[in-house]
Structure 1
Amino acid sequence: MSAPPLDRPAVTAPPAPPEPPAVPATAADPAPVRPRRPPATPGRRRLLRTATAVSLLGFLLVGFAVFLLAFAGLQEQHFQSTSYKSFALDLGNAVAPTGSAPDGAPVAVIDIPAIGLHSTVVVEGTTGRDLMRGPGHRRDTALPGQQGVSVLYGRTVTFGAPFGAITSLRTGDKIYATTGQGRFSYTVDAFGDGSHPITDTAASRLVLVTGNSSWIPTGTTTVGARLDGTAAPNPGGRPAVVAQDKALASDDYGLAPLQLWSLALLGAVLLVTLGSRLWHRQAAYLAGAPVVLALLWSVYENAAALLPNLY
Protein backbone atom coordinates (compact mmCIF):
# COMPACT_ATOMS: atom_id res chain seq x y z
CA MET A 1 0.00 0.00 0.00
CA SER A 2 1.26 3.48 -0.81
CA ALA A 3 1.68 6.05 1.97
CA PRO A 4 -0.91 8.75 2.12
CA PRO A 5 0.30 12.20 0.88
CA LEU A 6 1.46 14.63 3.53
CA ASP A 7 -0.50 17.80 3.92
CA ARG A 8 1.75 20.88 3.24
CA PRO A 9 0.89 24.23 4.71
CA ALA A 10 -0.09 26.86 2.20
CA VAL A 11 2.67 29.42 1.43
CA THR A 12 1.48 32.92 1.91
CA ALA A 13 3.34 36.24 1.24
CA PRO A 14 4.57 38.13 4.31
CA PRO A 15 2.44 41.03 5.27
CA ALA A 16 3.49 44.34 3.73
CA PRO A 17 5.09 46.76 6.17
CA PRO A 18 2.86 49.53 7.23
CA GLU A 19 3.21 52.68 5.25
CA PRO A 20 4.78 55.61 7.11
CA PRO A 21 2.37 58.24 8.06
CA ALA A 22 2.08 61.02 5.58
CA VAL A 23 4.07 64.11 6.48
CA PRO A 24 2.25 67.27 5.69
CA ALA A 25 4.09 69.48 3.18
CA THR A 26 5.81 72.41 4.78
CA ALA A 27 7.76 75.32 3.41
CA ALA A 28 11.58 75.01 3.23
CA ASP A 29 13.39 75.98 6.37
CA PRO A 30 14.69 79.54 6.06
CA ALA A 31 18.49 80.05 6.07
CA PRO A 32 19.92 81.05 9.40
CA VAL A 33 20.14 84.78 9.78
CA ARG A 34 23.60 86.03 10.74
CA PRO A 35 23.61 88.64 13.40
CA ARG A 36 24.56 92.03 12.06
CA ARG A 37 27.50 93.86 13.51
CA PRO A 38 26.57 97.00 15.27
CA PRO A 39 27.49 100.07 13.24
CA ALA A 40 30.93 101.49 14.07
CA THR A 41 30.83 104.49 16.27
CA PRO A 42 32.68 107.65 15.22
CA GLY A 43 35.29 106.98 17.86
CA ARG A 44 35.88 103.45 16.55
CA ARG A 45 36.21 104.71 12.98
CA ARG A 46 38.79 107.28 14.06
CA LEU A 47 40.70 104.58 15.92
CA LEU A 48 40.74 102.32 12.86
CA ARG A 49 41.92 105.14 10.63
CA THR A 50 44.65 106.07 13.09
CA ALA A 51 45.80 102.45 13.39
CA THR A 52 45.89 102.08 9.60
CA ALA A 53 47.88 105.29 9.17
CA VAL A 54 50.37 104.31 11.90
CA SER A 55 50.80 100.82 10.39
CA LEU A 56 51.36 102.28 6.94
CA LEU A 57 53.87 104.81 8.27
CA GLY A 58 55.72 102.07 10.15
CA PHE A 59 55.85 99.94 7.01
CA LEU A 60 57.29 102.82 4.99
CA LEU A 61 59.92 103.61 7.64
CA VAL A 62 61.03 99.98 7.95
CA GLY A 63 61.17 99.74 4.17
CA PHE A 64 63.30 102.90 4.04
CA ALA A 65 65.74 101.44 6.57
CA VAL A 66 65.99 98.22 4.56
CA PHE A 67 66.59 100.25 1.40
CA LEU A 68 69.42 102.25 3.01
CA LEU A 69 71.19 99.31 4.64
CA ALA A 70 70.70 96.66 1.96
CA PHE A 71 69.57 97.82 -1.47
CA ALA A 72 71.30 101.21 -1.60
CA GLY A 73 74.65 99.43 -1.72
CA LEU A 74 73.52 97.52 -4.80
CA GLN A 75 72.64 100.80 -6.50
CA GLU A 76 76.08 102.21 -5.68
CA GLN A 77 77.79 99.06 -7.01
CA HIS A 78 75.86 99.30 -10.25
CA PHE A 79 76.93 102.89 -10.78
CA GLN A 80 80.53 102.07 -9.87
CA SER A 81 80.60 99.27 -12.42
CA THR A 82 79.24 101.37 -15.28
CA SER A 83 81.20 104.53 -14.43
CA TYR A 84 84.48 102.63 -14.11
CA LYS A 85 84.13 101.37 -17.68
CA SER A 86 83.22 104.87 -18.86
CA PHE A 87 86.15 106.49 -17.05
CA ALA A 88 88.59 103.85 -18.29
CA LEU A 89 87.48 104.67 -21.84
CA ASP A 90 88.02 108.40 -21.18
CA LEU A 91 91.50 107.69 -19.84
CA GLY A 92 92.32 105.62 -22.90
CA ASN A 93 91.17 108.41 -25.20
CA ALA A 94 92.95 111.08 -23.08
CA VAL A 95 89.70 113.00 -22.53
CA ALA A 96 89.31 112.48 -18.77
CA PRO A 97 88.61 115.79 -16.98
CA THR A 98 91.54 117.63 -15.40
CA GLY A 99 89.65 120.77 -14.43
CA SER A 100 86.06 121.40 -13.46
CA ALA A 101 83.56 118.72 -14.47
CA PRO A 102 79.77 118.29 -14.39
CA ASP A 103 78.26 117.14 -11.10
CA GLY A 104 78.31 113.37 -10.76
CA ALA A 105 80.86 112.86 -13.55
CA PRO A 106 83.79 110.47 -12.84
CA VAL A 107 87.02 112.40 -12.21
CA ALA A 108 89.36 109.88 -10.56
CA VAL A 109 89.86 106.32 -9.37
CA ILE A 110 91.32 105.66 -5.92
CA ASP A 111 92.83 102.59 -4.30
CA ILE A 112 93.44 102.20 -0.55
CA PRO A 113 94.85 98.68 -0.09
CA ALA A 114 94.98 98.90 3.72
CA ILE A 115 91.16 98.99 3.97
CA GLY A 116 90.36 96.90 0.90
CA LEU A 117 89.16 99.77 -1.26
CA HIS A 118 90.09 99.02 -4.87
CA SER A 119 89.31 100.73 -8.19
CA THR A 120 86.70 103.00 -6.65
CA VAL A 121 85.45 105.78 -8.89
CA VAL A 122 85.40 109.32 -7.47
CA VAL A 123 82.67 111.59 -8.82
CA GLU A 124 82.57 115.37 -9.03
CA GLY A 125 80.53 116.95 -6.24
CA THR A 126 79.75 116.11 -2.63
CA THR A 127 75.99 116.59 -2.35
CA GLY A 128 73.90 113.76 -0.98
CA ARG A 129 72.90 112.69 -4.48
CA ASP A 130 76.52 112.77 -5.71
CA LEU A 131 77.69 110.58 -2.85
CA MET A 132 75.09 107.94 -3.68
CA ARG A 133 77.41 107.04 -6.56
CA GLY A 134 80.64 106.74 -4.58
CA PRO A 135 83.23 109.05 -3.00
CA GLY A 136 82.89 112.67 -4.13
CA HIS A 137 85.45 115.35 -4.92
CA ARG A 138 84.76 118.72 -3.34
CA ARG A 139 84.47 121.04 -6.30
CA ASP A 140 86.38 123.99 -4.85
CA THR A 141 89.56 121.92 -4.28
CA ALA A 142 92.26 120.52 -6.56
CA LEU A 143 91.87 117.14 -8.20
CA PRO A 144 93.96 114.32 -6.71
CA GLY A 145 97.55 114.57 -7.91
CA GLN A 146 97.40 118.30 -8.62
CA GLN A 147 99.13 121.09 -6.76
CA GLY A 148 97.13 122.13 -3.72
CA VAL A 149 94.78 120.36 -1.35
CA SER A 150 92.34 117.79 -2.73
CA VAL A 151 89.36 116.93 -0.53
CA LEU A 152 87.28 113.76 -1.00
CA TYR A 153 84.06 112.95 0.87
CA GLY A 154 82.72 109.43 1.35
CA ARG A 155 79.75 107.90 3.13
CA THR A 156 80.15 106.01 6.39
CA VAL A 157 77.01 103.85 6.57
CA THR A 158 74.88 103.78 3.44
CA PHE A 159 75.40 103.35 -0.32
CA GLY A 160 78.31 100.97 0.03
CA ALA A 161 80.00 103.02 2.82
CA PRO A 162 83.21 103.49 0.80
CA PHE A 163 84.91 105.48 3.59
CA GLY A 164 83.44 103.51 6.47
CA ALA A 165 86.84 102.01 7.36
CA ILE A 166 89.23 104.94 6.86
CA THR A 167 89.51 105.38 10.63
CA SER A 168 91.53 102.14 10.65
CA LEU A 169 94.24 103.70 8.45
CA ARG A 170 97.64 104.19 10.06
CA THR A 171 100.56 106.50 9.42
CA GLY A 172 102.53 105.24 6.43
CA ASP A 173 99.60 103.56 4.63
CA LYS A 174 99.37 104.29 0.92
CA ILE A 175 96.58 105.87 -1.10
CA TYR A 176 96.71 105.75 -4.90
CA ALA A 177 94.78 108.01 -7.24
CA THR A 178 94.44 107.83 -11.02
CA THR A 179 93.23 110.84 -13.00
CA GLY A 180 93.52 112.20 -16.51
CA GLN A 181 97.00 113.47 -15.52
CA GLY A 182 98.41 110.12 -14.42
CA ARG A 183 98.70 107.87 -11.38
CA PHE A 184 99.71 109.39 -8.05
CA SER A 185 100.72 108.00 -4.67
CA TYR A 186 100.00 109.48 -1.24
CA THR A 187 101.28 108.51 2.21
CA VAL A 188 98.97 108.85 5.22
CA ASP A 189 100.49 111.15 7.83
CA ALA A 190 97.75 113.00 9.74
CA PHE A 191 94.37 112.49 11.41
CA GLY A 192 91.73 114.88 12.66
CA ASP A 193 88.04 115.50 13.27
CA GLY A 194 85.54 118.32 13.21
CA SER A 195 86.94 119.88 16.36
CA HIS A 196 90.60 119.29 15.55
CA PRO A 197 91.27 119.85 11.84
CA ILE A 198 94.43 118.62 10.18
CA THR A 199 97.21 121.24 10.27
CA ASP A 200 99.58 119.68 7.75
CA THR A 201 101.36 122.39 5.76
CA ALA A 202 102.35 120.26 2.77
CA ALA A 203 101.68 122.08 -0.49
CA SER A 204 100.10 119.06 -2.21
CA ARG A 205 98.06 116.68 -0.12
CA LEU A 206 94.88 114.64 -0.01
CA VAL A 207 92.20 114.82 2.70
CA LEU A 208 89.56 112.11 3.16
CA VAL A 209 86.42 113.13 5.07
CA THR A 210 83.69 110.88 6.45
CA GLY A 211 81.31 110.61 9.41
CA ASN A 212 82.55 109.94 12.91
CA SER A 213 80.25 106.99 13.60
CA SER A 214 79.18 103.82 11.81
CA TRP A 215 75.61 104.25 13.06
CA ILE A 216 74.43 107.88 13.10
CA PRO A 217 77.35 110.27 12.46
CA THR A 218 77.15 113.57 14.31
CA GLY A 219 80.54 114.93 13.24
CA THR A 220 83.40 114.27 10.85
CA THR A 221 86.61 112.27 10.82
CA THR A 222 89.47 113.29 8.51
CA VAL A 223 92.55 111.49 7.25
CA GLY A 224 95.40 113.42 5.61
CA ALA A 225 98.06 112.16 3.22
CA ARG A 226 101.03 113.82 1.52
CA LEU A 227 101.70 113.48 -2.18
CA ASP A 228 104.73 111.36 -3.06
CA GLY A 229 106.68 112.91 -5.92
CA THR A 230 105.87 115.84 -8.17
CA ALA A 231 102.39 117.31 -8.40
CA ALA A 232 100.58 117.81 -11.69
CA PRO A 233 99.62 121.33 -12.84
CA ASN A 234 96.42 122.75 -11.43
CA PRO A 235 94.37 124.62 -14.07
CA GLY A 236 92.36 126.42 -11.37
CA GLY A 237 89.04 128.03 -12.14
CA ARG A 238 87.24 126.02 -9.48
CA PRO A 239 83.71 127.07 -8.45
CA ALA A 240 83.04 128.36 -4.94
CA VAL A 241 81.80 125.89 -2.36
CA VAL A 242 78.03 125.85 -1.84
CA ALA A 243 75.98 124.84 1.18
CA GLN A 244 75.25 121.35 -0.16
CA ASP A 245 79.01 120.67 -0.53
CA LYS A 246 79.75 121.00 3.17
CA ALA A 247 80.17 118.00 5.45
CA LEU A 248 76.93 116.54 6.86
CA ALA A 249 74.88 118.88 4.66
CA SER A 250 71.47 117.92 3.28
CA ASP A 251 70.51 118.29 -0.35
CA ASP A 252 67.47 120.57 -0.19
CA TYR A 253 66.99 120.30 -3.93
CA GLY A 254 65.73 116.74 -3.39
CA LEU A 255 62.55 117.90 -1.64
CA ALA A 256 60.57 118.80 -4.79
CA PRO A 257 61.35 115.50 -6.58
CA LEU A 258 60.44 113.63 -3.40
CA GLN A 259 57.03 115.28 -3.34
CA LEU A 260 56.38 114.49 -7.01
CA TRP A 261 57.43 110.83 -6.67
CA SER A 262 55.31 110.50 -3.51
CA LEU A 263 52.25 111.79 -5.38
CA ALA A 264 52.94 109.36 -8.22
CA LEU A 265 53.21 106.50 -5.71
CA LEU A 266 49.94 107.49 -4.06
CA GLY A 267 48.22 107.64 -7.45
CA ALA A 268 49.51 104.20 -8.39
CA VAL A 269 48.30 102.69 -5.11
CA LEU A 270 44.84 104.20 -5.63
CA LEU A 271 44.67 102.85 -9.19
CA VAL A 272 45.67 99.36 -8.06
CA THR A 273 43.05 99.47 -5.29
CA LEU A 274 40.37 100.61 -7.73
CA GLY A 275 41.41 97.96 -10.23
CA SER A 276 41.17 95.22 -7.62
CA ARG A 277 37.53 96.15 -7.05
CA LEU A 278 36.45 96.67 -10.64
CA TRP A 279 38.69 94.01 -12.23
CA HIS A 280 40.19 90.69 -11.20
CA ARG A 281 41.92 91.20 -7.84
CA GLN A 282 45.01 89.05 -8.46
CA ALA A 283 45.45 90.42 -11.98
CA ALA A 284 45.30 94.00 -10.66
CA TYR A 285 47.91 93.24 -8.00
CA LEU A 286 50.24 91.48 -10.44
CA ALA A 287 49.99 94.31 -12.95
CA GLY A 288 50.40 97.07 -10.40
CA ALA A 289 53.08 95.60 -8.11
CA PRO A 290 56.09 96.35 -10.40
CA VAL A 291 54.92 99.94 -10.91
CA VAL A 292 54.37 100.50 -7.19
CA LEU A 293 57.77 99.01 -6.29
CA ALA A 294 59.56 101.15 -8.88
CA LEU A 295 57.87 104.30 -7.61
CA LEU A 296 58.62 103.33 -4.01
CA TRP A 297 62.30 102.93 -4.93
CA SER A 298 62.30 106.45 -6.41
CA VAL A 299 60.65 107.83 -3.28
CA TYR A 300 63.28 106.20 -1.06
CA GLU A 301 66.12 107.37 -3.29
CA ASN A 302 64.96 111.00 -3.14
CA ALA A 303 64.34 110.74 0.60
CA ALA A 304 67.92 109.49 1.04
CA ALA A 305 69.17 112.63 -0.74
CA LEU A 306 67.73 114.67 2.13
CA LEU A 307 69.88 112.87 4.70
CA PRO A 308 73.28 114.34 5.64
CA ASN A 309 75.68 113.57 2.79
CA LEU A 310 78.17 111.54 4.89
CA TYR A 311 75.62 109.04 6.26
Structure 2
Amino acid sequence: MDVPALNLSQVVLEGTDSAVLTDGPGHRRDTPMPGQAGTSVLMGRAAAHGGPFGRLADLAEGATFTVTTGQGRAKYRVVGVRRAGDPAPATVAAGKGRLVLVTATGPRFVQAGILRVDAGLVSAPFQTPLAVIRSGTLPESEQPLARPSGVPWPLVMWLQALLLAAVAAVRAWHRWGRHQTWIVFAPVVAVLGLQVATRTTELLPNLL
Protein backbone atom coordinates (compact mmCIF):
# COMPACT_ATOMS: atom_id res chain seq x y z
CA MET A 1 0.00 0.00 0.00
CA ASP A 2 1.40 3.41 -1.02
CA VAL A 3 -0.13 6.63 0.34
CA PRO A 4 1.84 9.61 -1.08
CA ALA A 5 -0.01 12.18 1.04
CA LEU A 6 1.32 10.53 4.21
CA ASN A 7 4.65 9.39 2.75
CA LEU A 8 3.48 5.91 3.72
CA SER A 9 4.50 2.65 2.08
CA GLN A 10 3.57 -0.57 3.87
CA VAL A 11 3.38 -4.28 3.19
CA VAL A 12 -0.09 -5.48 4.23
CA LEU A 13 -0.42 -8.82 5.99
CA GLU A 14 -3.36 -11.21 6.17
CA GLY A 15 -5.31 -11.11 9.42
CA THR A 16 -6.06 -8.46 12.02
CA ASP A 17 -5.28 -9.88 15.46
CA SER A 18 -2.73 -8.23 17.72
CA ALA A 19 0.15 -10.52 16.74
CA VAL A 20 -0.33 -9.86 13.02
CA LEU A 21 -0.68 -6.10 13.43
CA THR A 22 2.58 -6.09 15.38
CA ASP A 23 4.34 -6.59 12.03
CA GLY A 24 2.28 -4.14 9.97
CA PRO A 25 -1.24 -3.38 8.71
CA GLY A 26 -3.51 -6.35 8.13
CA HIS A 27 -6.34 -7.25 5.76
CA ARG A 28 -9.59 -8.25 7.44
CA ARG A 29 -10.06 -11.81 6.23
CA ASP A 30 -13.84 -11.74 5.84
CA THR A 31 -13.72 -8.89 3.29
CA PRO A 32 -12.69 -8.88 -0.38
CA MET A 33 -9.09 -8.28 -1.31
CA PRO A 34 -8.25 -4.65 -2.17
CA GLY A 35 -9.04 -3.89 -5.78
CA GLN A 36 -11.96 -6.31 -5.93
CA ALA A 37 -15.63 -5.37 -5.94
CA GLY A 38 -17.21 -4.85 -2.54
CA THR A 39 -15.94 -3.29 0.67
CA SER A 40 -12.42 -4.25 1.70
CA VAL A 41 -11.02 -3.44 5.15
CA LEU A 42 -7.42 -2.85 6.23
CA MET A 43 -6.55 -2.35 9.90
CA GLY A 44 -3.36 -0.96 11.41
CA ARG A 45 -1.89 0.32 14.65
CA ALA A 46 -1.99 4.02 15.52
CA ALA A 47 0.99 4.17 17.91
CA ALA A 48 2.78 0.94 18.80
CA HIS A 49 5.32 -0.72 16.49
CA GLY A 50 5.84 2.40 14.42
CA GLY A 51 2.15 3.32 14.28
CA PRO A 52 1.80 2.82 10.50
CA PHE A 53 -1.79 4.17 10.55
CA GLY A 54 -1.09 6.91 13.10
CA ARG A 55 -1.66 9.74 10.61
CA LEU A 56 -4.78 8.49 8.85
CA ALA A 57 -6.77 11.42 10.23
CA ASP A 58 -4.60 13.74 8.10
CA LEU A 59 -5.92 12.26 4.86
CA ALA A 60 -8.02 14.87 3.09
CA GLU A 61 -11.02 14.15 0.92
CA GLY A 62 -9.86 13.61 -2.65
CA ALA A 63 -6.41 12.24 -1.72
CA THR A 64 -5.46 9.19 -3.78
CA PHE A 65 -3.42 6.13 -2.94
CA THR A 66 -2.75 2.68 -4.41
CA VAL A 67 -2.78 -0.89 -3.18
CA THR A 68 -0.91 -3.53 -5.16
CA THR A 69 -1.92 -7.20 -5.00
CA GLY A 70 -1.25 -10.24 -7.13
CA GLN A 71 -4.05 -9.06 -9.44
CA GLY A 72 -2.46 -5.68 -10.11
CA ARG A 73 -2.51 -2.12 -8.80
CA ALA A 74 -5.77 -0.64 -7.54
CA LYS A 75 -6.25 3.11 -7.16
CA TYR A 76 -8.47 4.63 -4.48
CA ARG A 77 -9.70 8.15 -3.72
CA VAL A 78 -10.56 9.21 -0.15
CA VAL A 79 -14.20 10.20 0.27
CA GLY A 80 -14.24 10.87 4.02
CA VAL A 81 -12.88 10.32 7.52
CA ARG A 82 -15.30 9.25 10.24
CA ARG A 83 -15.22 8.59 13.96
CA ALA A 84 -17.71 7.12 16.42
CA GLY A 85 -21.14 8.61 15.84
CA ASP A 86 -20.45 9.79 12.29
CA PRO A 87 -22.83 8.40 9.66
CA ALA A 88 -21.52 5.54 7.54
CA PRO A 89 -21.52 5.96 3.77
CA ALA A 90 -24.17 4.25 1.68
CA THR A 91 -23.64 0.61 0.78
CA VAL A 92 -21.27 0.27 -2.13
CA ALA A 93 -23.06 -0.33 -5.44
CA ALA A 94 -22.85 -3.68 -7.16
CA GLY A 95 -19.67 -4.01 -9.18
CA LYS A 96 -18.00 -1.09 -7.38
CA GLY A 97 -15.23 -1.19 -4.80
CA ARG A 98 -14.47 0.57 -1.54
CA LEU A 99 -11.59 0.35 0.90
CA VAL A 100 -11.92 1.22 4.59
CA LEU A 101 -8.74 1.95 6.57
CA VAL A 102 -9.26 1.40 10.29
CA THR A 103 -7.17 2.44 13.29
CA ALA A 104 -7.53 3.81 16.83
CA THR A 105 -8.24 7.45 17.57
CA GLY A 106 -7.30 9.58 20.58
CA PRO A 107 -4.04 10.21 22.47
CA ARG A 108 -1.16 7.82 21.79
CA PHE A 109 -1.57 4.44 23.53
CA VAL A 110 -4.97 5.49 24.90
CA GLN A 111 -8.05 3.58 23.73
CA ALA A 112 -10.45 6.39 22.80
CA GLY A 113 -12.32 4.99 19.82
CA ILE A 114 -12.08 3.90 16.21
CA LEU A 115 -11.20 6.03 13.19
CA ARG A 116 -12.19 4.97 9.68
CA VAL A 117 -11.10 6.37 6.34
CA ASP A 118 -13.44 5.53 3.44
CA ALA A 119 -11.98 5.45 -0.06
CA GLY A 120 -13.68 4.63 -3.35
CA LEU A 121 -12.10 2.45 -6.02
CA VAL A 122 -11.44 4.60 -9.09
CA SER A 123 -9.64 1.97 -11.17
CA ALA A 124 -11.41 -0.96 -12.79
CA PRO A 125 -12.26 -3.67 -10.23
CA PHE A 126 -10.44 -6.97 -10.41
CA GLN A 127 -12.17 -10.33 -10.70
CA THR A 128 -13.86 -11.03 -7.38
CA PRO A 129 -14.14 -14.70 -6.30
CA LEU A 130 -16.72 -15.97 -3.86
CA ALA A 131 -15.89 -15.23 -0.22
CA VAL A 132 -13.98 -18.01 1.56
CA ILE A 133 -14.71 -16.64 5.03
CA ARG A 134 -18.26 -15.47 5.65
CA SER A 135 -18.81 -12.03 7.15
CA GLY A 136 -19.32 -12.12 10.91
CA THR A 137 -17.43 -15.38 11.49
CA LEU A 138 -14.06 -13.93 12.51
CA PRO A 139 -12.90 -14.60 16.09
CA GLU A 140 -13.20 -11.80 18.62
CA SER A 141 -9.41 -11.34 18.60
CA GLU A 142 -9.59 -9.97 15.03
CA GLN A 143 -12.24 -7.34 15.74
CA PRO A 144 -11.27 -3.64 16.10
CA LEU A 145 -9.60 -2.81 19.45
CA ALA A 146 -9.59 -6.50 20.45
CA ARG A 147 -7.03 -7.84 22.90
CA PRO A 148 -5.28 -11.21 22.60
CA SER A 149 -7.14 -14.10 24.16
CA GLY A 150 -5.71 -16.82 26.38
CA VAL A 151 -2.48 -16.94 28.37
CA PRO A 152 0.40 -14.95 26.79
CA TRP A 153 2.80 -17.89 26.85
CA PRO A 154 5.53 -16.19 24.76
CA LEU A 155 5.67 -13.34 27.28
CA VAL A 156 5.78 -15.80 30.19
CA MET A 157 8.66 -17.72 28.62
CA TRP A 158 10.70 -14.57 27.85
CA LEU A 159 10.13 -13.30 31.40
CA GLN A 160 11.42 -16.59 32.75
CA ALA A 161 14.49 -16.34 30.53
CA LEU A 162 15.11 -12.76 31.72
CA LEU A 163 14.79 -13.87 35.34
CA LEU A 164 17.28 -16.71 34.84
CA ALA A 165 19.71 -14.33 33.14
CA ALA A 166 19.40 -11.90 36.06
CA VAL A 167 20.11 -14.66 38.59
CA ALA A 168 23.09 -15.86 36.57
CA ALA A 169 24.40 -12.29 36.33
CA VAL A 170 24.25 -11.86 40.11
CA ARG A 171 26.17 -15.10 40.64
CA ALA A 172 28.73 -14.11 38.01
CA TRP A 173 29.14 -10.71 39.68
CA HIS A 174 30.36 -12.41 42.87
CA ARG A 175 32.57 -14.93 41.07
CA TRP A 176 34.01 -12.93 38.14
CA GLY A 177 33.73 -9.31 39.19
CA ARG A 178 31.83 -6.31 37.88
CA HIS A 179 33.57 -5.66 34.56
CA GLN A 180 33.53 -9.25 33.30
CA THR A 181 29.85 -9.63 34.26
CA TRP A 182 28.88 -6.47 32.35
CA ILE A 183 30.75 -7.63 29.26
CA VAL A 184 29.06 -11.05 29.22
CA PHE A 185 25.55 -10.30 30.45
CA ALA A 186 24.73 -6.78 29.22
CA PRO A 187 24.01 -7.95 25.62
CA VAL A 188 22.03 -10.95 26.88
CA VAL A 189 19.86 -8.89 29.20
CA ALA A 190 19.34 -6.25 26.48
CA VAL A 191 18.11 -8.84 23.97
CA LEU A 192 15.83 -10.51 26.52
CA GLY A 193 14.49 -7.15 27.67
CA LEU A 194 13.67 -6.22 24.08
CA GLN A 195 11.78 -9.48 23.61
CA VAL A 196 9.82 -8.90 26.83
CA ALA A 197 8.92 -5.38 25.70
CA THR A 198 7.81 -6.67 22.29
CA ARG A 199 5.60 -9.39 23.76
CA THR A 200 4.16 -6.92 26.26
CA THR A 201 3.05 -4.54 23.51
CA GLU A 202 1.25 -7.47 21.87
CA LEU A 203 -1.13 -7.38 24.84
CA LEU A 204 -2.32 -3.94 23.74
CA PRO A 205 -5.55 -3.71 21.72
CA ASN A 206 -4.73 -4.52 18.10
CA LEU A 207 -5.26 -0.96 16.81
CA LEU A 208 -3.11 0.88 19.39
Shorter-chain TM-score above 0.5 = yes
Name the TM-score, length of structure 1 as normaliser: 0.61
* 1:207 aligned onto 2:104: no
What SS class does the counterpart of residue 152 from structure 1 fall into? strand
> What do the CA deviations read for 1:164-183 (whole angstroms, capped 9, x no partner)?
11111121111211000000
User: Does the C-alpha gap of structure 1 residues 206 and 300 become closer, same or farther in structure 2, counting only changes over 3 Å?
Assistant: same
Find out whether 1:294 has 2:188 as its counterpart: no
Cα distance change on mapping 1:254 and 1:145 into 2, 3 Å: farther
Q: Is the 8 A contact 1:190 1:198 kept in 2?
A: no
Kept in 2: contact 1:171–1:190 (CA 8 A) = yes
Q: Within 5 Å, give how 1:162-181 maps onto structure 2.
A: 162-181=52-71
Q: Which runs of 4+ in 1 moved over 6 A?
A: none
Give 3-state SS (helix, strand or coil) of 1:224's partner.
Answer: strand
TM-score by length of 2: 0.90
Alignment-derived partner of residue 249 in structure 1: 146
2:151, 2:17 → 1: CA distance? 10
The equivalent position to 2:74 in structure 1, one of 163, 184, 195, is: 184
Mapped partners of 2:154, 2:65: distance in 1? 37
Indicate the residue corresponding to 1:115 in structure 2: 6
Q: Is the 8 A contact 1:276 1:284 kept in 2?
A: yes
Matched to 1:296, the amino acid is: G
Larger RCO: Structure 1 or Structure 2 (Cα < 8 Å, ≥ 6 residues apart)? 2
* Identity of matched residues, %: 39
In structure 2, the CA distance between the partners of 1:138 and 1:254, relative to structure 1 (3 Å rule), is farther
Structure 2: which amino acid aligns with 1:238?
I
Query: Residue type of the partner of 1:284?
Result: T
Deviation at 1:280, TM superposition (A): 2.9
SS state at 1:278 partner: helix
Aligned to 1:185, what secondary structure does the other structure show? strand
Which structure features the higher share of strand residues?
Answer: 2
Contact 1:128 1:307 in 2 (8 A): yes
Is the CA contact (8 Å cut-off) linking 1:248 and 1:308 kept in structure 2?
yes
CA-CA distance at 1:198 after TM superposition: 2.2
The CA deviation string for residues 152-194 of structure 1, in whole angstroms up to 9 with x for no partner, is 1111112121111111112111121100000011111133223
Q: Residues 19-49 of structure 1: CA distance to partner in whole angstroms, max 9, x if unpaired?
A: xxxxxxxxxxxxxxxxxxxxxxxxxxxxxxx
Mind listing any 5+ residue stretches in structure 2 that lack a counterpart?
Answer: none
Which of residues 81, 88, 110 is equivalent to 1:198?
Answer: 88
CA distance in 2, matches of 1:194, 1:131: 22
Letter aligned with residue 221 of structure 1: L
- Assess if the C-alpha contact under 8 Å between 1:275 and 1:284 holds in 2: yes
Q: Which of the two has higher C-alpha Rg?
A: 1
Cα distance between partner residues in 2 of 1:200 and 1:152: 19
Tell me the distance in 2 between the aligned counterparts of 1:149 and 1:127: 19
Structure 1 partner of 2:157: 260
RMSD (Å), alpha carbons:
1.6
Contact (CA 8 Å) 2:48, 2:201: kept in 1 or not?
no
State which of 179, 200, 203 in structure 2 corresponds to 1:303: 200
